[in-house]
Chains A and B, each alone.
Chain A
Amino acid sequence: GEEVAQTPKHLVRGEGQKAKLYCAPIKGHSYVFWYQQVLKNEFKFLISFQNENVFDETGMPKERFSAKCLPNSPCSLEIQATKLEDSAVYFCASSQPGGSRTNEKLFFGSGTQLSVL
């Protein structure tokens, strides 16, 4: 597709429940990024993928967060045992493939609003 598709748009979970978010990157894009935006302000980098391989996971709280990008499936971000502070908008973005032009531009999905109660 020609846009990054994120589902669901909104997700409500009780504290301690699991949350799973999905992202289909633009067809032909090899790089996928997940960002967490809290309070419409700071974008916190979580993880990036090059195809199905983890590219950079330095932002992931590894105890409860995990992510995958498998062939022929949407990418996913899963939060086990959600906490109140996980409430945020989670954005997925993709970019074009290849070498030095990897970061030519990011195309964003419309985000998933996660509310942990």
Chain B
Amino acid sequence: AQTVTQSQPEMSVQEAETVTLSCTYDTSESNYYLFWYKQPPSRQMILVIRQEAYKQQNATENRFSVNFQKAAKSFSLKISDSQLGDTAMYFCAFAPTGGNQFYFGTGTSLTVIP
């Protein structure tokens, strides 16, 4: 069975500071993708960043980067220079390559404080 765990239901960060959101997953698959999605109050799900498990190099997208530890099955998201528009729910997700579905964590509600 595949599971995704986000152990921080809520977090806050001061504007311009850095915050790290945690995610761990459990799988017996060897090939898979990992994702972070952002869901602002508008409820639209927005892809923030994606990591392919076979790549050792951590993915980065502007102010967003991940720390992917395959052996530990850990996939944390770092947001640098936090902005007010980063306030949202963040969902970690896992998808086996060629699999039937995506598996989501229960989300972390991030608030950026002015």
Contacts and interface: CB of A to CB of B under 8 A. Distances in A.
Interface in B19-60: 31-33, 35, 37, 39, 42-45, 47, 50
B97 A106 contact: no
Contacts of B106: 41-42
A100 B89 CA distance: 29
Interface of B: 31-33, 35, 37, 39, 42-45, 47, 50, 89, 91, 93, 95-104, 106-107
Interface residues of A, number: 27
10 contacts: A33-B101, A40-B107, A41-B107, A48-B100, A55-B100, A99-B98, A105-B35, A106-B35, A106-B45, A108-B45
Determine which residue in A35, A58, A106 has the highest number of CB atoms from chain B within 10 A of its CB, and name it.
A106
